[in-house]
A and B are shown apart, each in its own frame.
Chain A
Amino acid sequence: MANHSTTSSHSRFQQHHFVDAEQQFDAAKMGMWVFLVTEILMFGGLFAAYIVYRLWYPELFVLASEELNTLWGGVNTLVLIGSSLTVAMAIKSAQLNQKRNIAINLGITLALAAIFMVIKYFEYTHKFHLGIFPGEFYTFEGIDHPKANVFFSLYYLMTGLHGIHVTIGMGLMIWLLVRSTKGHFGEEYYTPIEMTGLYWHLVDIIWIFLFPLFYLID
């Protein structure tokens, strides 16, 4: 079929059903934004649950929040904001065709994401050690409130879902790193980096909401 576009004018990453690379980029970008809307709605369900329970048990949230380590939460916030900067720099490097810098910036982003997860791991294990488990497995007695387990159910659900997103993001960064070392990306084609960047900014923004809602209310 003549419609299989293999002519030299096309980038090798352009798919057959797009007229040109610009249409492909625009479509990918729009699709990604629409997908991010669905992500916000998904987290929105949990934020709605948070609002309801905080209205019902305001004193519980203040009490239980003291069990969370504000210092390490703050460090994690800085780490994630830093990683958003580096992923944006990776996109800029691609636009400027600095192929080496793409890989460096993606590598730093990946490392920062890993630091975030390591800190999260120590926060979780410290709480498990104290007996702060979600729901019916909750055995901690340091908080004088009968519904303390509900707060920590929400805490684990929301930070856990966020953690899953960070892990997925790390997978995407590794994929991008492999492709960038093969020289796939440059000024004429950097769609996957831009899309992963959008995703990563969303993960960052959700954490920026989670941090004050859980760590800073005491």
Chain B
Amino acid sequence: MATAEANPKKIQVQRYEPESDPDKHYLNEETGLWTWLTTVDHKKIGLMYLASITFFFFVGGIMALLVRTELWTPAKTFIEANTYNQLFTLHGAIMIFLFLVPSVPAALGNFFLPLQLGAKDVAFPRLNLLSYYIYVAGAVISIVSIVSGGIDTGWTFYTPYSSTTGGAVTIMTFGVFVIGFSSILTGVNFITTIHKMRAPGLTWDKLSLFSWSLYATSIIQILATPVLAITLALVGMERILGIGIFDPAMGGDPVLYQHFFWFYSHPAVYIMIVPGFGIVSEVITTFSKKHIFGYWAIALSSLAIAFIGFLVWGHHMFVSGQASLATMVFSFLTFLVGIPTGIKMFNWTATLYKGSIKLASPLLYIFGFFFLFLVGGLTGIVLGSIALDVHLHDTYYVVAHFHFVMVGGMVMAFLAGLHYWWPKMIGRMYNETMAKIACGIIFIGFNVTFLPQFVMGSQGMPRRYFNYIEQFQSFHQISTIGSYILGFGFVMIFYYLVKSIFTGEKASPNPWGSRALEWQVNSRPPLHNFHHTPVIVNGPYDYHKPMDEFQLGLAENHNAHSDVNGAEVSVSNEEETSAE
């Protein structure tokens, strides 16, 4: 693929000026419900994922609000204990398997990975559509399990409780099993796409950091998710056939289940957060108009997290009766994960230093991410130390830590990415003032919700309990009020983003002045992304040159698709110069 650059011949370089609001774009070139349902276009599939995860985010969010409302008083407030158990289980399962895991890779990644690679599509477009439908099928199966009895095991499905309790655990584990295949196929697709579909000239050192983060994520997805699949299949078999692998009454071992489960589920938290890191890198450089500081450090630290993330699962089991030597090793390895994450934080901060910072709403969300993720990450180190973990295990401290990383880190990064790329996806601008206010509301609401939980947890409030002693009531009430503020913030974002689709002003192709490749196409990109295979001359963070010198090359004819293309490109502002 890189022949054009390696070729000593002169390559034809031309400036391509993208249009805003073009007549033909990916949304109107093919129309009708049937073309949406059968589309293999990665952008439409990305939008379908975005709609689905938004739906499940609100379903899971409403469950969280119900749980928080129930905890207003120490005893029963308005729902039964069993319903409460089902609600927190479903909140966790829906948020993790139906929102967090597919959120950035399958929605934003699907849309922007091929654009950032200069490709027309992912490597396997039909497989991409299939993984969307597998996701939908898994979601439907999960909904069936909710209406046919629900589950009360917690999202972790720990045996032997999950293999003996009533309700629809078998159906739910089957649903998650199915969703896992969607995740696996997306990972296979992305790895192949990044290896094989890069435009000529797009070498590994010009790969965007968002693509690097998706690469690391895909590696985790393909290595960890199959283990979850087989584990949940075993839980299902346990319930149907009583195979006894995890059931101590039949000679099995419940701790083995925990090993299997966390072998997936610990790396899974990196599946959720690492793509968020990619968004941070993109947004930071764009809004500080500066080359990313420590490109390779950030790129390789994603891979380091993916690697070390596989060796730390035992820190979920410090009190589960694993060997004390194993506990010490896992604790040590857990501290190691802090290193690549710290490297990223320092490099992002260094990128801001002496940058020309424009404090637009995407960057505001990233600043929220910095603060909240830092708290989440440092409390993770606290939980990784053995003696403290024995005290804090299964308390609200863990709940608060997890939400600081997942909501404060991942969701904030997701929102930053959504605001950053919204003009490119939809071709419309949202209300910037409302975006900034919503960011503030979410930041405040989040802290009001989860900071008290650190305090409660360290004082011994166990997680998942329906009743609690009265000394914790004021903490719970502050937390509940915070959750309403947080919920209001999310509704507000939903409101102004949807409104912008209909009444927003038209976005220019590159409203932020970014150098990344996805901003060099029309806003609302064409159906096949690029009218002509681009040759990449400058990297995605090259802010040394002014925008009008920042040029895209054009592929030689043998890399193009037909001679007709040449005619089409000449429509757009062409000026021929020579490079190399």
- Chain A residues at the B interface, C-beta cutoff of 8 Å: 1-3, 5, 7, 15-17, 19, 23, 26-28, 30-31, 34-35, 37-39, 41-46, 48-49, 52-53, 57, 134-137, 146-147, 149-150, 153-154, 156-157
- Asked if A3 contacts B120 (CB within 8 A), the reply is yes
Q: How far is the CB of B218 from chain A (nearest CB, A)?
A: 9
Q: Would you mind naming 23 contact pairs between A and B with Cβ atoms under 8 Å apart?
A: A1-B528, A2-B562, A2-B565, A2-B568, A3-B565, A5-B562, A7-B562, A17-B119, A19-B1, A26-B196, A27-B192, A27-B195, A27-B197, A31-B127, A31-B189, A34-B188, A38-B188, A39-B226, A44-B227, A48-B260, A52-B256, A156-B243, A157-B243
- Asked if A42 contacts B227 (CB within 8 A), the reply is yes
With A27-B197, A45-B260, A153-B244 already in contact, the answer to whether A34 and B192 are too (CB < 8 A) is yes
Asked if B500 CB lies within 8 Å of chain A CBs, one says no
Counting chain B CB atoms within 10 Å of each CB, the highest count among A1, A48, A137 belongs to A1
A-B contact count (CB 8 A): 140
- Asked if A153 contacts B226 (CB within 8 A), the reply is no
- Asked if A150 contacts B250 (CB within 8 A), the reply is yes
- Asked if B227 contacts A149 (CB within 8 A), the reply is no
Residue B564 contacts which of A2, A136, A137 (CB distance < 8 angstroms)? Answer: A2
List 12 additional A-B contacts (Cβ < 8 Å) besides A17-B528, A27-B197: A5-B561, A17-B125, A17-B197, A28-B124, A30-B196, A34-B192, A38-B187, A38-B225, A45-B231, A136-B242, A150-B250, A150-B251
Q: How far is the CB of A116 from chain B (nearest CB, A)?
A: 22
Q: How far is the CB of B203 from chain A (nearest CB, A)?
A: 17
Residue B559 contacts which of A17, A19, A44 (CB distance < 8 angstroms)? Answer: A19
- A94 CA / B243 CA spacing, docked (Å): 45
A149 neighbours in B (Cβ, 8 Å): 243-244, 250-251
Asked if B527 CB lies within 8 Å of chain A CBs, one says yes
Q: How far is the CB of B227 from chain A (nearest CB, A)?
A: 5
Q: How far is the CB of B269 from chain A (nearest CB, A)?
A: 18
- Asked if B1 contacts A23 (CB within 8 A), the reply is yes
Asked if B27 CB lies within 8 Å of chain A CBs, one says no
Q: How far is the CB of A5 from chain B (nearest CB, A)?
A: 5
A52 neighbours in B (Cβ, 8 Å): 253, 256
Asked if B464 CB lies within 8 Å of chain A CBs, one says no
Asked if B169 CB lies within 8 Å of chain A CBs, one says no
Residue-wise, chain B 213-249 has the 8 Å CB interface mask toward A (1 for contact) of: 0000000001111110111001001100111110000
- Asked if A38 contacts B237 (CB within 8 A), the reply is no
- A156 CA / B227 CA spacing, docked (Å): 18
- Asked if B192 contacts A135 (CB within 8 A), the reply is no
- Asked if A136 contacts B250 (CB within 8 A), the reply is yes
A23 neighbours in B (Cβ, 8 Å): 1, 196-197
- A38 CA / B121 CA spacing, docked (Å): 23
- Asked if A137 contacts B561 (CB within 8 A), the reply is no
B526 neighbours in A (Cβ, 8 Å): 1
With A1-B528, A23-B1, A41-B226 already in contact, the answer to whether A7 and B561 are too (CB < 8 A) is yes
Q: How far is the CB of A129 from chain B (nearest CB, A)?
A: 18
Asked if B67 CB lies within 8 Å of chain A CBs, one says no
A43 neighbours in B (Cβ, 8 Å): 230
Asked if B15 CB lies within 8 Å of chain A CBs, one says no
- Asked if A150 contacts B234 (CB within 8 A), the reply is no
B564 neighbours in A (Cβ, 8 Å): 2
- Asked if B244 contacts A46 (CB within 8 A), the reply is no
Q: How far is the CB of A170 from chain B (nearest CB, A)?
A: 20
- A1 CA / B568 CA spacing, docked (Å): 9
Q: How far is the CB of A135 from chain B (nearest CB, A)?
A: 4
- Asked if A135 contacts B256 (CB within 8 A), the reply is no
B1 neighbours in A (Cβ, 8 Å): 19, 23
Residue B222 contacts which of A34, A135, A154 (CB distance < 8 angstroms)? Answer: A34
- Asked if A16 contacts B568 (CB within 8 A), the reply is no
- Asked if B244 contacts A135 (CB within 8 A), the reply is yes
A41 neighbours in B (Cβ, 8 Å): 222-224, 226-227
Residue B245 contacts which of A19, A31, A153 (CB distance < 8 angstroms)? Answer: A153
- Asked if B245 contacts A49 (CB within 8 A), the reply is yes
Q: How far is the CB of B18 from chain A (nearest CB, A)?
A: 16
Asked if B363 CB lies within 8 Å of chain A CBs, one says no
With A3-B531, A19-B533, A34-B222 already in contact, the answer to whether A135 and B260 are too (CB < 8 A) is no
Closest A residue by C-beta to B184: A38
B127 neighbours in A (Cβ, 8 Å): 31
Closest A residue by C-beta to B253: A52
Q: How far is the CB of A47 from chain B (nearest CB, A)?
A: 10
Closest B residue by C-beta to A15: B125
B22 neighbours in A (Cβ, 8 Å): none
Asked if B252 CB lies within 8 Å of chain A CBs, one says yes
With A3-B120, A45-B227 already in contact, the answer to whether A31 and B125 are too (CB < 8 A) is no
- A34 CA / B224 CA spacing, docked (Å): 13
Q: How far is the CB of B297 from chain A (nearest CB, A)?
A: 26
